[in-house]
Amino acid sequence: MTKIIIIRGNSGSGKTTLAQALHDQCDSSFLISQDVVRRQMLQVDDHAGNLAINLMAELIEFGRLHVDVVILEGILRQDVYRELLQSVLTKFDIVIPVYYDLPLTETISRHRTKRFVSFTESDVAKWYRKNDYLGWPDEIIFNQTITLKQAMAAIMQRINHQ
C-alpha cells in the first residue's frame, strides 16, 4: 500500500522536526521538504505556478513508485498548493494530512529557538496564515500543546491501522 503523510503549518510550527522524526522511524520512506525544493534547489518565490510545484509533483511520484511512505512537509499554503495536494488523493492508498494550527505568538516564539534562519520575525508574521486547513475530513490538527512524541504516535497509529 502506498502512503503519503502531508505535514503543513506556519513557519516554526514543528513540521520539519516531525517530518525528520517520521523519516527516521519509517524503514522505507522518502522526505520532500518544500523549503529545500523551493528555496534551496530552485530559489523561487512562493506563488501560484512556481516551478517548485512541478518538481514536488515529480518527487512525489518518484516516492510513490519506490518507497512505502512519502513524507511531504512545508508551509504548503492551500491557496498555492491545493491542486498539488489534491492530486495525491487518487494516487495513494493512504493519505494522512496533518496541519499544525498554532497562534502567531507561538510560531514566533518557536522561530526564536532556531539556530540558523535567513528570515526575521516580521517575515514570519507576514507569511502567517491563520487556520489554513485543507478541509479534508481526516485532516489531523495539532495545536501548540502537542508534543513530538504525541504527534509521532498519532501518525504512526494511522499508518499502521489503515
pLDDT digits (tens, 9 = 90+) for 103-162: 998 888 887 777 776 778 888 888 889 999 999 989 999 999 999 999 999 999 998 876
pLDDT higher than threshold 90 for residue 12: no
Q: Which is nearest to 122 in space by CA: 114, 133, 131, 111?
A: 111
Average pLDDT, whole number, for the chain?
Answer: 93
d(CA 160, CA 82): 26
- Contacts for 94 with CB less than 8 Å, ≥ 6 apart: 1, 2, 3, 4, 158, 159, 162
Q: For each of the domains in the chain, give its residue range(s) and CATH number, in order of start.
A: 3-160 (3.40.50.300)
Q: How many CA atoms lie within 13 A of 94 on its CB side?
A: 17
Q: Among residues of the chain, what percentage have pLDDT more than 70?
A: 98
Please give the pLDDT value at position 124: 81
Q: What is the CA radius of gyration of the chain?
A: 15
**Average pLDDT over every residue of 38-47:** 94
Q: Which is nearest to 5 in space by CA: 99, 90, 83, 80?
A: 99
Please give the pLDDT value at position 162: 62
Please give the pLDDT value at position 161: 76
Task: Record the pTM.
Answer: 0.93
**Average pLDDT over every residue of 62-68:** 97
